[in-house]
Amino acid sequence: MSSSVSVAAEWDLLSDRFYRRLTLYSPLPWSAPAPTSTASSSGVGGAVIGRLDLSTHIVAAAPFGGPIAAVRDDSKIVQLHSEPSRRRLLLFSSSGHPIASAPWPPMLPRLHSLAFSSSLSLVGLLSDGSLLRFRLPDLQPSPSSSPVPLLPPASGGVADAVFWGGGVAILTEDNRVVVATDIEAADPHPRDLADPGVGDEEHVLCMAVVEPQFVMSGSPEVLLAVGDRVIAVDEDGVQLLGEELEIGPVQKMAVSPNGKLLAAFAHDGRLLVIPTDFSRIIFEYECDKWDINNNLHLQAYDNYQLISSSLPEAIEACIDAAGHEFDASRQRALLRAATYGLAFCSRFPHERFQEMCKMLRVLNAVRDPGIGMPLTIQQYKLLTAPVLIGRLINANQHLLALRISEYLNLNSEVVIMHWACEKITASPTLPDTVLLEGLLDKLRLCKGISYAAVAAHADNCGRRRLAAMLVDHESQSSKQASFTFVLIPLLLSIDEQEKALSKAIESGDTDLVYLVLFHIWQKVAIEKKAHLDFFGVINARPVARDLFMAYARHSEHEALKDFFLSTGRLQDAAFLLLKESRELEKNPMASKGSPLHGPQVRLIEQAHRLFAETKEHVFESKASEEHAKLLRSQHELEVSTKQAIFVGSSVSDTIKTCIAMGNERAALKVKSEFKVPDKRWYWLKTCALATVGNWDALEKFSKEKRPPGGYKPFVEACIDAGQKTEALKYIPKLPDPRERSEAYARMGMAKEAAEAASQVKDSDELFGRLKTTLAQNSAAASIFDTLRDRLSFQGAY
Amino acid sequence: MEPQWRVALLSSPVAAASSAPLAALRQCPLPQPSTAWPPPPRCETPARRCLTRPICSSISSPVVRLCLRWSGAAEIHPDLDRFLSNSLTPGQMAQIPNLDNAPINLAALREQSQKDLLGILKSIRGKKCLVIDPKLAGTLSLIIQTSLLKEYGAELRILSSDPLQTECTKIIYLVRSELSFMKFIASQIKTDEPKGLQREYFLYFVPRRTVACEKILEEEKVHQKLTLGEYPLYLVPLDDDVLSFELDHSLQECLIEGDTSSIWHVAKAIHKLEFAFGVIPNVRAKGLASTKAAELLNSMQLEDPVNMDDMGIQEINTVILLDREVDMVTPMCSQLTYEGLLDEMLQIHNGSVEVDASIMGTQQDGKKVLRQKATSIQQDYVEVKSTNTQSVSELKDFVRRLHSLPEIAYIEEMIHKQEPIENVLRLLVLLSLTNAGLPKKNFDYLRREILHSYGFEHMNLLYNLEKAGLFKRQESRSNWVGITKALHLIVDVNDTANPSDISYIFSGYAPLSIRLVQHASAEKGLFNFILKKCFVTFHYPRSIEELLKLLPGPHLDLKRGGLTINSSLEVHPGSGVQQSIDRVGHRTLVLIVFIGGVTFAEIAALRFLSAQEGMGYDFLVATTKVVNGNTILKPIISNSKEGMM
């Protein structure tokens, strides 16, 4: 790269700009890879300087210093020297170092052209108009080895084609244009453009594409040079361009990267620069030796006079120039010049300088022939550091990628992760333990890295044991970043269900717990294992157990019962039986007194026995025993009264019903059978008698003996029924004046209420309430006011 | 939709358990409304439209209980004032909450939910029938006008087990991921088949697909017929300062069933908030579910980090997570704020109250009848307020008397009279919680009386309440008195017009939960200042650590690092909320998350705190659901009865 010629001599003036042509790498090694080499093992170090005759190959060079792909052009006659006769697809770095090679798939139509897509996969267009795609860096056909057709069979095949970042435009032999805008998609959806109307006798000289992102309509515009005219074809129509410019037949066209300009090489040797709308000629140059085909990188460079201008600008210019320079010694000279200036110029932002140094270090590192990515500084800025790192790891340059990411303070996780996965792929014979050690060594470098993702890759490579070991390690090392959504399906796939369940529970996401539960459940069902295994697993984990129970209550009753019984949760099994008994009751077939009544009682008795087996559920045991007894009594009552109104009601309601029906004896029988306390009995009987309006019986009942809970039940029953006269029989018997007062108030008897209230100590609040209660009665209200005034006067407040 | 009007006007009291002496729970006839009423006192903070003024004293007056049915009918805004002055007519849609005064941009959050929903409708061309589960219908009314859904060509239906009646050929099910809904969907699809209906089915899970639901669909063999999707609705703003996760069953799932799904949901929702408003640097949690949620939040940040560099300022300074389980006493007490009372009596659903049409009689002037009812309720409280202020000591008495248990006789009487079981249980739970259970003799006796009075089908209910620790046998000494003393839960309210402490909310009882929040946000913060100002003698005999140990569940304190990648889990015990006013022009925002529900009274207490002069904090409340004692107990009662728990 260094040259003894003066710097200025390298530059040529073209119009008002200086240009130069750089030789980046020379000589190129071009070694043919060893025949046995696999994708990644063809080492750079062992390369032998060889030859690659570009003229006999179909070649594609990726933009942005990417790799070069080549395959021998079988339409040309070539003399074979020492190489094998079978064609191989070759991949080189920009510096000509072999990266990979693979045999060209046999039995295919002829290859028309090769190209790289914007995300660096290699695309081959076959002469029948089908696409064959290859993955980098191993050159494996992807997604499948069969080509994807883009053209209809009758089109006659490819006459010419132009690729751009994501798409291709094909000119067919029958002069139609087909475009596909997403050649990386599984189905690229080729579309016919409008018929360009080129006659059979005419010949398309060349074509170019204005990429879709530069066209208003969002679909690509294809320029065709036909005879002495240029036409633009898009989906909607055909347009004749630049007739008035009189360019004449165009031999070659190229669209500028921003889609605005077109360089056209006319048949008379003129090079023209025209806007893509052909509105005028911007620039015209007579050239004879300029080869438009060479994809030159044109670089403005007009820095030399700048040293004399003002200092900060000069420093800026030096730094800038260093950035554009490929030669390290010249970079150094320029940067040194900048530091001289910097010393005198405190205003200048020093970070600019440091930034440039950093960038140059990265650029020089990747430009090294060993790596072979001759990026310009603009390309680097467009590409960004993370993408560059991505390219490096795809080229298996992990160490450099790691160094760069460390140097730039970027997260090195992606590098190490990729390395680990590649390592696993590339080491099929290494024993698990050895490989694990090697992997862990590097994985430890990066805090918080997901072992799960690496383990998933190991599993994909058929190394389950290694995957399990990695997962094991994950659970030991990092509790926090568990990345469960990757990990759990992985654990399930390697048959680590219990671990998966624990992880799912740890994640706190019940949905994941269910995922694992159903997985295990299904497996148990398929393998016809006893449910016991499953039950054992979930019983040890309360979260899983409770979730299973919640789900099973909806749809897995039998399994739930099994679970309860086999894990000793007898009380829960008993409650489940009770639930079943109630469902029988709801069943429309289970009409009262029908034979279904029997099963219902039997289920309850079963539940009773289960409760009894536990020590802690004596209460439930007794209660279910009583429940069964009640159902039987109610059944008998329904038979004897011939009325289906008892089953399903409570003990209290049964008693009330009996009394309301006038069947005191039956009520008493229920009372003694269920040991109903006297207090409740009084409430129930008074209520029932009042409901049927049997006031005589009520009075008789009040005189049987002194009621154990007082006369309150009688008062309430009468008041609720609105029976003033009846109520007055019992109100005076209330011992508490407050209760008495309120009872009178509820009957609307203001005077009596007030009198009773006046016997209450601390009666203010009571008065307020009474007043509200009797608010509709203004006379009553005034009684209260008087009384209260009198009381407050006495100092009761 | 023809509403099913049904009414029952009960003159039964609310279980005014806490502050009311139990004797006050008595049936009295319904009072007549008076023609004039004093305007309800309002909180001074204009941003708050709540009704947080104290109504001192117990409810000793009768109250109106309206039994409500899902009817989609008349709805009353919780603001009595506004409700009375507005001309509401039956059938008016619920109002989408106004979020103009929210401390963070909740409106943007809601707009996103709106957009997501409309996106689903747009993605399916032509006329379609949108089938929503009953609960979700209420939730969606907080996000979007029904009319807008109709504009997008959607016909609305509520999911049930009945066959679907519609002309549409495209059916979109939008339901929460609950197993029972899957069965409904399966049965609807299956009934369509023999009729030869050519329908296209879409199922959107809210908030996400779950394996268990899909498993049911597979078992019912309808999985293949459905196109599945998700509607990621994790939380809904109810008010300027209240968010709901809309997890109705969270409490019973965590407490009884052991299903921890809602904890994951809560963590996910907070993490989503973090994507919008920045990583919350301080996390404090008390209770099993809360600490678990805090840990999950941390691991979510590790797996799917919120990039703090892109975020600018962190809008939420602290999140305090609290299990309802830690304080079950408060929801069992009767709420004595207007909003709380309305919820107790009329049940506020999605910011509105549904009133059954038949109480309006044959006249269609619902406004008038509603006015009467509301007036009479209000009249009662005004009356109550004017009567006395001396019942403050009653709670003290209540606590003291619990040891002699005369209340058991009262509860026994309620059971014998077969009063609604939830009223009975509410008292029993309160009694059991404050006494660490009931003595075995009483416990077994009352349980037997309950089974005899209400039916043996409640056996499972009693067992579940026991499992949840809500109603159990006494095995140890109660530390309730110690807790009330240590946290100053019982405070005399001297000046009810200008209360200085949150205890006014329950007329002398400061909710335990809110005291804990005060603690968690205080220590080194401004709270201490406030507390000292209010109570000169306010000091804690025990350290907060000791105190927290008396309450159920572990506690956790996290400070989250500044770096995205290595945000490590550093524990800084005892460090309070940093008091930096880091949001320009705003006060420090504290997010308080209640797992298992919060009552309106507690929300009012927090608003009261944040409205205090010199207070450096704004509170944002997030809850699985707004609850009260009855809404906690009722689903437990019915699910236990059906054996689904």
Contact check, Cβ <8 Å, A448/B61 = no
- A621 shares contact with chain B (CB less than 8 Å): no
Q: Least CB-CB distance to B32: which of A481, A543, A776?
A: A776
pLDDT score for A102: 86
Q: If you measure CA to CA, which chain B residue comes closest to A483? A: B303
Of these ranges, A240-244, B4-8, B599-603, the one predicted with the greatest mean pLDDT is B599-603
Contact check, Cβ <8 Å, B258/A514 = no
Is residue B558 within 8 Å of residue B292, measured between CB atoms?
no
What interface predicted TM-score (ipTM) does this complex get? Answer: 0.79
Question: Residue B76: is its pLDDT beyond 90?
Answer: no
Contact check, Cβ <8 Å, B566/A547 = no
- A716 shares contact with chain B (CB less than 8 Å): yes
- B227 shares contact with chain A (CB less than 8 Å): no
Contact check, Cβ <8 Å, A510/B261 = yes
The torsion angles phi and psi of B348, rounded to 5 degrees, stand at -85, 120
Min mean pLDDT across A284-293, A713-722, B269-278 is at A284-293
Contact check, Cβ <8 Å, B295/A508 = yes
Q: Once rounded to an integer, what is the mean pLDDT over residues B259-284?
A: 93
Distance from CA of A458 to the nearest CA of B (A): 22
pLDDT score for A46: 38
Distance from CA of B208 to the nearest CA of A (A): 10
pLDDT score for A574: 95
Residue B557 shares a structural domain with residue B504: yes
Contact check, Cβ <8 Å, B416/A674 = no
Residue B76 shares a structural domain with residue B165: no
Which chain B residues touch A765 with a CB distance below 8 Å?
Answer: 57, 60, 387-388, 390-391
Which chain B residues touch A546 with a CB distance below 8 Å?
Answer: 257-259
d(CA B228, CA B201): 9
Write the pLDDT tens digit of every residue in B1-55: 322 222 222 222 222 222 222 222 222 222 222 222 222 222 222 222 222 222 2
**Rg from Cα positions in chain B:** 25
Residues 561-600 of A with CB under 8 A from B: 571, 575-576, 578-579, 582
Question: Residue B482: is its pLDDT beyond 60?
Answer: yes
Average pLDDT, chain B: 72
- B57 shares contact with chain A (CB less than 8 Å): yes
Residues 410-439 of A with CB under 8 A from B: 411
Contact check, Cβ <8 Å, B62/A773 = yes
Residue B518 shares a structural domain with residue B620: yes
Which DSSP state fits B358? G
pLDDT score for A764: 62
Write the pLDDT tens digit of every residue in B331-348: 988 777 767 777 877 777
pLDDT score for B385: 38
Q: Encoding tokens for residue A613?
A: 């087996």
Write the pLDDT tens digit of every residue in A147-163: 888 888 777 888 889 99
Distance from CA of A626 to the nearest CA of B (A): 9
Question: Residue B361: is its pLDDT beyond 50?
Answer: no
Contact check, Cβ <8 Å, A551/B454 = no
Chain A interface disruption, residue of B298, B416, B560, most A CBs within 10 A: B416
Contact check, Cβ <8 Å, A650/B211 = no
* Beta strand B555-560 pairing with B154-158: unpaired
- A482 shares contact with chain B (CB less than 8 Å): yes
DSSP alpha helices (H): ranges in A192-299? none
Question: Residue A57: is its pLDDT beyond 90?
Answer: no
Domain boundary, last residue among B234, B265, B282: B234
Residue B154 lies in a domain: yes
Is residue A263 within 8 Å of residue A278, measured between CB atoms?
no
Q: Once rounded to an integer, what is the mean pLDDT over residues B444-468?
A: 95
Range of the domain at B587: 241-332+489-628
d(CA A662, CA A390): 92
Which are the contacts of B155, defined by CB distance < 8 A and separation ≥ 6? B127, B128, B129, B130, B166, B168
- B644 shares contact with chain A (CB less than 8 Å): yes
Please state, for a pLDDT cut of 90, what percent of chain A lies above it. Answer: 22
- B565 shares contact with chain A (CB less than 8 Å): yes
Is residue B345 within 8 Å of residue B13, measured between CB atoms?
no
Question: Residue A91: is its pLDDT beyond 80?
Answer: yes
More confident residue, B593 or A71: B593
pLDDT score for B387: 34
Contact check, Cβ <8 Å, A620/B180 = no
Cross-strand pairs, B318: B282, B590
Contact check, Cβ <8 Å, B388/A542 = no
Residue B157 shares a structural domain with residue B214: yes
Residue B306 shares a structural domain with residue B351: no
Residue B151 shares a structural domain with residue B273: no
Of these ranges, B121-135, B355-369, B609-623, the one predicted with the greatest mean pLDDT is B121-135
- A539 shares contact with chain B (CB less than 8 Å): no
Distance from CA of B452 to the nearest CA of A (A): 5
Residue B177 lies in a domain: yes
- A743 shares contact with chain B (CB less than 8 Å): no
- A447 shares contact with chain B (CB less than 8 Å): yes
- B282 shares contact with chain A (CB less than 8 Å): no
More confident residue, B462 or B65: B462
Which chain B residues touch A578 with a CB distance below 8 Å?
Answer: 457, 459-460, 643
Q: Once rounded to an integer, what is the mean pLDDT over residues B215-222?
A: 92
Which are the contacts of B288, defined by CB distance < 8 A and separation ≥ 6? B254, B323, B325, B552, B553, B554
Question: Residue B470: is its pLDDT beyond 90?
Answer: yes
Write the pLDDT tens digit of every residue in A378-395: 889 888 888 899 888 888
Write the pLDDT tens digit of every residue in A473-490: 765 544 444 566 667 877
pLDDT score for B210: 92
pLDDT score for A530: 67
Which DSSP state fits B598? B
Residue B528 lies in a domain: yes
Question: Residue A623: is its pLDDT beyond 50?
Answer: yes
Cross-strand pairs, B239: B242
Domain residue extents for chain A? 54-256, 736-796
d(CA A510, CA A551): 12
Distance from CA of B204 to the nearest CA of A (A): 16
Residue B49 lies in a domain: yes
Which are the contacts of A516, defined by CB distance < 8 A and separation ≥ 6? A488, A492, A497, A500, A501, A504, A544
- B257 shares contact with chain A (CB less than 8 Å): yes
Q: Encoding tokens for residue A693?
A: 């309006």
Question: Residue B82: is its pLDDT beyond 70?
Answer: no
- A603 shares contact with chain B (CB less than 8 Å): no
Min mean pLDDT across A404-418, B18-32, B482-496 is at B18-32
Question: Does this model's pTM top 0.80?
Answer: no
- A773 shares contact with chain B (CB less than 8 Å): yes
Q: How many residues does chain A have?
A: 797
- Cβ-Cβ pairs closer than 8 A, A with B, add up to 181
Which chain A residues touch B416 with a CB distance below 8 Å?
Answer: 652, 679-680, 683-684
pLDDT score for A631: 92
Which chain A residues touch B184 with a CB distance below 8 Å?
Answer: none
pLDDT score for A288: 53
DSSP alpha helices (H): ranges in A540-596? 542-555, 557-566, 570-586
pLDDT score for A651: 96
Residue B497 shares a structural domain with residue B624: yes
pLDDT score for A633: 92
Contact check, Cβ <8 Å, A575/B460 = yes
Residue B157 shares a structural domain with residue B175: yes
Distance from CA of B489 to the nearest CA of A (A): 25
Write the pLDDT tens digit of every residue in A272-310: 888 888 888 887 877 654 444 443 353 333 444 444 457
Residue B314 shares a structural domain with residue B196: no
CB atoms within 10 A of CB A15: 11
Of these ranges, A185-194, A256-265, A455-464, B109-118, the one predicted with the greatest mean pLDDT is B109-118
Cross-strand pairs, A209: A222
Query: Which is nearest to B501 in space by CA: B536, B542, B456, B546?
Result: B536
pLDDT score for A795: 35
d(CA B156, CA B169): 14
More confident residue, B542 or B322: B322
Max Cα separation, chain B? 78
- B290 shares contact with chain A (CB less than 8 Å): no
Question: Residue B109: is its pLDDT beyond 90?
Answer: yes
Residue B435 lies in a domain: no
| Chain-centroid distance, C-alpha B457 | 28
- DSSP element (H, E) containing B150: helix B146-151
Residue B272 shares a structural domain with residue B186: no
Q: Encoding tokens for residue B225?
A: 């017929």
Residue B553 shares a structural domain with residue B582: yes
Residue B265 shares a structural domain with residue B229: no
The residue type found at A505 is I
pLDDT score for B285: 93
Written as one string, the DSSP assignment of B536-589 is TT---SS-HHHHHHHSSS-EEEEEE-S-STT--EE--TT--------STTSPEE
Distance from CA of A409 to the nearest CA of B (A): 13
- A555 shares contact with chain B (CB less than 8 Å): yes
Residues 599-618 of B with CB under 8 A from A: none
Question: Residue A690: is its pLDDT beyond 90?
Answer: yes
Q: If you measure CA to CA, which chain B residue comes closest to A651? A: B452
pLDDT score for B88: 36
- DSSP element (H, E) containing A795: none
Which chain A residues touch B212 with a CB distance below 8 Å?
Answer: 511, 514, 518, 551
B114: CATH: 3.40.50.2060
Residue range A54-256 forms a domain whose CATH class is mainly beta
Residues 346-405 of A with CB under 8 A from B: none
User: In chain B, how many domains are there?
Assistant: 3
